[in-house]
């Protein structure tokens, strides 16, 4: 089955700096890669996703890049703000009703 | 549109007991999946149901089971509880595309003593 690895497990940045979280996957058939944000005590929520036919996607301060050859994808958050503090999970799926495989999460702390 | 609803939100059980958790998906969503969340382990997939059929199953022992009803509501059951079953159990529903966003409930936090 698929194996998704996520690094780092914890990340602290100063407010205004950028944060990068990286994930690797093993199944070359995976074609959908979402990122979820889970604030303390709340449910995970989708913040951005990318499909295998796209190399990069951006939404305001958040961007995701995908390298299919190397089987890795990354989340980039620019101009970080305290409200970006949360746990971020990457995931991979083959789509079409197949299950999602999640990384172990990155706890991001933005220091004011 | 109401979100994914999970009940109960919190429960405490003792070893050897069994527990049933319930999940009501977003109206119109036919796919419901269950995840176990523990510190350091992330979200581990338990199983996924679509139109009352289990479509995918994760690597959990047979003590973990589930089902889905005709109204898409789903239940999961854990029998013979162990201390290691203490976790947040998240349910997620998915819409018609089946390739897109998972909508999570707030979870059921199970503590096994």
A40-88 residue pLDDT tens: 999 999 999 999 888 999 999 999 999 999 999 999 999 999 999 999 9
Mean local confidence (pLDDT), B56-75: 95
Q: Name every chain A residue with its beta carbon within 8 A of the beta carbon of B98.
A: 95-97
* Helix, strand, or coil (residue B47): strand
**Residue A23 in tokens:** 């994930």
Closest Cβ–Cβ partner in A95, A96, A104 for B40? A104
Instruction: State residue A1's pLDDT score.
Output: 79
- What is the Cα–Cα distance from B46 to B65, expressed in whole angstroms? 9
- pLDDT for residue B76 is more than 90: yes
**How far does CA B17 lie from the centroid of its chain?**
18
- pLDDT for residue B93 is more than 80: yes
| Shortest distance, CA B86 to any CA of chain A (angstroms) | 16
**Burial letters A38-58, b for 16+ CB under 10 A, else e:** beeeebbeebbbbebeeeeee
Burial class of residue B67, CB neighbours in 10 A (0-12, 13-18, 19+): middle
Q: Name every chain B residue with its beta carbon within 8 A of the beta carbon of A97.
A: 31, 48, 50, 55-56, 98
pLDDT averaged over chain B? 93
CB contact under 8 A, A99 and B98: no
Q: Is A28 on the interface with B (CB under 8 A)?
A: no
φ, ψ dihedrals at B77, nearest 5°: -125, 140
| Shortest distance, CA A103 to any CA of chain B (angstroms) | 6
Instruction: State residue A97's pLDDT score.
Output: 67
Question: What pLDDT, in 10s, does the model give residues B14-54?
Answer: 999 999 999 999 999 999 999 999 987 889 999 999 999 99
- What is the Cα–Cα distance from A69 to A100, expressed in whole angstroms? 20
Closest Cβ–Cβ partner in A43, A96, A105 for B98? A96
Q: A82: Cβ–Cβ under 8 A, 6 or more apart, which residues?
A: A15, A110, A112
Closest Cβ–Cβ partner in A49, A97, A102 for B55? A97
Closest Cβ–Cβ partner in A43, A93, A103 for B106? A43
CB contact under 8 A, A99 and B40: no
């Amino acid at each position: 089955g698929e194996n998704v690895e996520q690094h780092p497990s914890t990340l602290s940045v100063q407010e205004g700096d950028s944060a990068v979280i990286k994930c690797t996957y093993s199944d070359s058939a995976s074609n959908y890669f979402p990122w979820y944000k889970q604030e303390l005590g709340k449910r995970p929520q989708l913040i951005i996703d990318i499909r295998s036919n796209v190399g990069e996607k951006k939404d305001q301060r958040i961007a995701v890049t995908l390298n299919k050859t190397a089987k890795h994808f990354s989340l980039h958050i620019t101009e970080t703000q305290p409200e970006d503090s949360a746990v971020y999970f990457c995931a991979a799926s083959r789509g079409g009703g197949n299950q999602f495989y999640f990384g172990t999460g990155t706890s991001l702390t933005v220091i004011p | 549109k109401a979100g994914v609803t999970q009940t109960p939100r919190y429960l405490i059980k003792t070893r050897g007991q069994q527990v049933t958790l319930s999940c009501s998906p977003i109206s119109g969503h036919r796919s419901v999946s269950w995840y176990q969340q523990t510190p350091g382990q992330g979200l581990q997939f338990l199983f996924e149901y679509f139109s009352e059929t289990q479509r995918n199953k994760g690597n959990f022992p047979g003590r973990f089971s589930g089902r889905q009803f005709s109204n898409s509501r789903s239940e999961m059951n854990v029998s013979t509880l162990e201390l290691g079953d203490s976790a947040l159990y998240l349910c997620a529903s998915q819409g018609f595309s089946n390739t897109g966003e998972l909508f999570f409930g707030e979870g059921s936090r199970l503590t096994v003593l």
